[in-house]
Chain A
Amino acid sequence: MVKLKTLVLVGLASAISAGVTVFISSKTAEARKPFAPEDLKLMDEELMQLVKKGDELWHSPKLGKNGLTCANCHPDGANANPHTFPKFQDNVGKVATLREMINWCIERPLEGKALPEDSEDMKALEAYAIYMYRGYPLKPGDNTREYPPVKVKSGPGYP
């Protein structure tokens, strides 16, 4: 935060000293150059690894004790509706995050033990659910309906 403020001030000072009209655009506060395509590719690969791990967990009975997996009720992540969180969850009785809802499913339908919310497994499950709804506008609080995931023609549903 301190670093960013300093950057803005330096930017302002140099702009004023140059005698030009000052518009504080997003570019003024940009801390670095745009990422190079190869960097973006690497970052994407990191994400896809997490999504893949999430896919495996989503289809694994090890999260629960009765043999069920997340995918029993949510094939391709269907009806996970990740873009509608946080929202008031009737079955939880309060506003819940996606992670809280994932744990609710692990504890109830799967009869398993809740994951620590900051665990890698939880991050992976969340990443998979969100990735299967990529492109949806955020609709926090939407309890009106279930949304289908992205249409998948073949493969796991992600690159």
Chain B
Amino acid sequence: MKKISRRDFFSLSTKVGAAAFTAGAISPFTGLVSVAEAGSHGSKSKITPFNFVVVGDTHLYEMPNHRFDKTFDRAIKDILAMKPKPDFVLFIGDLAQFGKVKELEKGKKFLDRLEKAGIKYLIIPGEHDWYLDMGKTWKKMFGKDHWSFDHKGVHFIGLNSILVEDYWTAKNMTPWERMLAIAELECHVCGLWGVGEKQLEWLEKDVKKLRPDTPVVVFTHSPLWDFYPRWNFQTKDAPQIRHILSKFEKVIAIHGHVHQVVYNRTGNMVHIGNLATSWPWPYPPVELPYPKIRMNRVDPGDIYDGIGFATTYIDDTFLGKLNYKTWAELLPDEVKKGVLL
């Protein structure tokens, strides 16, 4: 991430925001609890309501005019057409398919279109960006893989959640073989990933001085709860992360990687998964914690079905509303109305 842009762009004015969010706990659907009604709880809030976009899992290949270029392009165009403009765009990992320089460069060109239009973006890595050269190109291009900033009264945190233990040295794998292995969702030599000790220490320091009523949003590539570890629909040290963040009244956690609509709650945290712009994953062989928040079956003949991105509105009480932006009949009516966070 460019150092100047974030500091210039995001207000550092306050780390304190009231977090009245009780209405959100009643139902995750806006149809049942209105945002306006929920807002009445938070008269002392210091949040100025705003919108941001979450996009990711673009999985760009280096070949030109690839189908995933078309779908990412459509998302970028839609974001550029948003009125009002989103305050920022969060890219939630897996920009590239195999972490190749050309793939990442292609991705950066897409993202730079946002910046040229005056929309800042922030980015965290996914495993597909990382394991060819262990994040070297990605870091050169985008800077830190974990960060935080304050914006309009909300504390935002981004973490690199895809760090695994060395599975390649003992097997004498080349960087390419290492990459190909982890590029498979069902990789059976890679093991579980997480953020690791260093980031846990950093996180602890980062939130140390924040008051419990600070509204916190955390972004990770993978979910901060055990959904289906077989596909790394998990983060190994999520329990520690949740523990560190448990001092807050409410935390909104947004993740990518699953390429599907999924929602959960743990303690003080609300978790939601983002769609990919590349392809959808089928649901794993486990029950969804909130079965109504799901997506429909996908038409494999339509390259725009099963994919999309999300816009998120944060109101002055720290009630969030996430709307999945899709281009086909993917969402059940209830989900179409937006999901309360």
Contacts and interface: CB of A to CB of B under 8 A. Distances in A.
Contact of B301 (A73, A74, A108, A155): A108
A59 to B, nearest CB: 6
A91 B301 contact: yes
A66 B284 CA distance: 25
Interface in A32-75: 59, 66-68, 71-75
Interface in B252-292: 279-286
B67 A59 contact: no
B173 interface: no
B206 interface: no
B285 A151 contact: yes
A145 B301 CA distance: 17
Given A73-B279, A75-B231, A146-B283, A154 B188 contact: yes
B63 interface: yes
A105 B300 CA distance: 8
A76 B186 contact: yes
- The B interface is mostly helix, strand or loop, or mixed, namely loop
Contact of A73 (B188, B280, B284, B297): B280
Query: By CB atoms of chain A within 10 A, which of B97, B283, B297, B301 has the most?
Result: B301
Contacts of B301: 91, 108
A11 interface: no
A156 interface: yes
Given A66-B66, A108-B301, A152-B230, A74 B282 contact: yes
A149 interface: yes
Nearest to A151: B285
Query: By CB atoms of chain A within 10 A, which of B186, B230, B283 has the most?
Result: B186
B304 to A, nearest CB: 13
A150 B297 CA distance: 19
A70 B97 CA distance: 15
Size band of the interface chain A makes with B = 20 to 34
Given A66-B66, A66-B67, A155-B188, A148 B282 contact: yes
A74 B184 CA distance: 11
A86 interface: no
A148 B297 CA distance: 12
B184 A71 contact: yes
B300 A71 contact: no
Nearest to B61: A67
Contacts of B25: none
Contacts of B300: 73, 91, 105, 108-109
B188 A148 contact: no
A97 interface: no
Interface string B275-319: 000011111111000000000010111000000000000000000
A147 to B, nearest CB: 9
B12 interface: no
Contacts of A28: none
Contacts of B297: 145-146
Query: By CB atoms of chain B within 10 A, which of A73, A91, A105 has the most?
Result: A73
Contact of B188 (A72, A108, A156): A156
Contact of A148 (B66, B280, B285): B285
A75 B281 contact: yes
A91 B186 contact: no
Contacts of A157: 186
B185 interface: yes
A78 interface: yes
Interface of A: 59, 66-68, 71-76, 78-79, 90-91, 105, 108-109, 145-146, 148-157
6 contacts: A66-B67, A67-B63, A68-B279, A71-B184, A76-B231, A78-B284
Given A76-B186, A149-B285, 12 more contacts: A66-B66, A67-B66, A68-B279, A74-B282, A75-B184, A76-B231, A78-B282, A146-B282, A150-B285, A151-B285, A153-B230, A155-B188
